[in-house]
Amino acid sequence: MNFLIQEVSPALEPPRRKRPEWLKSRVPGGENYARLKAIIDGNRLHTVCQEARCPNVGECWNNGTATFMILGDVCTRSCGFCAVKTGKPTELDADEPARVARAVSLLGLRHAVITSVNRDELYDGGAQIFAETIRQVRASNPGTRIEVLIPDFRGEEFALDIVLDALPDILNHNMETVPRLYPVVRPQAKYERSLTLLNRARRRGFITKTGLMLGIGEK
C-alpha cells in the first residue's frame, strides 16, 4: 500500500502564540522563599501551598505570604480536584495554635489565612483547634487580620458557632462548583450545606467569603 506524504510548508503553518507571562510559574526559590520555608519547617507546620501542590507557591512565598493548614496533612475526604493526602488522620496537636501564632509573628503578617483538612472523624470537625488558633494568633499579633477558610463541619451548627465565637475577621468557605458537579467534584459535600453555612455566618454579622473554580464543566 502506498501513502502520499506531503510536506507542509512552514509558511502555511499557523503562527505559534507565545504563552502569556502570567501563565508561567517560576521554580520556587529566592531569599524570601527560603526564609518562609525555614519558619514553616522550624515550627512543624503545614501549608496548603505545599500539601495541595499549588503552582503559585514560588510567587506567593517570595512575596512573604502563605496559607497555614492546621489539623494535620491527611484529609478524610477525597475531592476530585485536590492533591492533599486522603486517609485516616492520626495527627491532632494541641500545641499547633501556638506555633501558628509564632510563625505569624516571625513573618510579620498583617493578614493571616488559616485553613485545614477535613476531620470528619472528630466530633467537632476540628472546630476547637480552629478557635484556639484564632485566639492565639490574635493574642500574639493584635494588629493582624485573621481569615479562616473552614470545612463544612458536616453541617453541625455547634461546630460553626465554636469558630464564630472566636471572632475571626473573615469567615471563608469555598463552594467550589455548581450543584450539578458536586457528585464528581465534591462527592462528600453538599451544595446546600455549604450555602447554609455561609448564610448562618452572615446572619451573625461576619464578613463572609467563598471561592468557585471555573472551567470544569459548569454551564
**Mean pLDDT, residues 162-167 taken together:** 98
pTM: 0.84
**Mean pLDDT, residues 3-24 taken together:** 65
Q: Please say if the pLDDT value at position 150 is more than 70.
A: yes
Q: Which residues contact 102 (CB under 8 A, 6 or more apart)?
A: 43, 140
Residue that has been written with the C-alpha cell 512573604 in this structure: 64
In the numeric block, which cell numbers belong to residue 163?
Answer: 469558630
72-106 residue pLDDT tens:
999 999 887 887 888 999 878 999 999 999 999 99
| Range with lowest mean pLDDT among 18-27, 129-138, 150-159, 163-172 | 18-27
**Mean pLDDT, residues 156-175 taken together:** 98
Task: For 133, list phi and psi in degrees, rounded to 5.
Answer: -65, -45
Note the pLDDT of residue 25: 62
The rounded distance, in Å, linking the Cα atoms of 134 and 104 is 11
Q: Please say if the pLDDT value at position 157 is more than 70.
A: yes
Note the pLDDT of residue 7: 59
Q: Please say if the pLDDT value at position 113 is more than 90.
A: yes
Give the single-character DSSP code of 176: B
* Domains, the chain: 28-209 (3.20.20.70)
Q: Which residues contact 53 (CB under 8 A, 6 or more apart)?
A: 83
Q: Please say if the pLDDT value at position 2 is more than 60.
A: no
Note the pLDDT of residue 195: 97
Strand (E) or helix (H) holding 26: none
**Mean pLDDT, residues 174-188 taken together:** 93
**Mean pLDDT, residues 9-36 taken together:** 70
* Mean pLDDT rounded to a whole number for the chain: 88
| Range with lowest mean pLDDT among 45-49, 126-130, 181-185, 208-212 | 45-49
The closest of 54, 61, 58 to 81, measured between CA atoms, is 54
Q: Which amino acid is present at 139?
A: A
The closest of 75, 70, 78, 79 to 89, measured between CA atoms, is 75
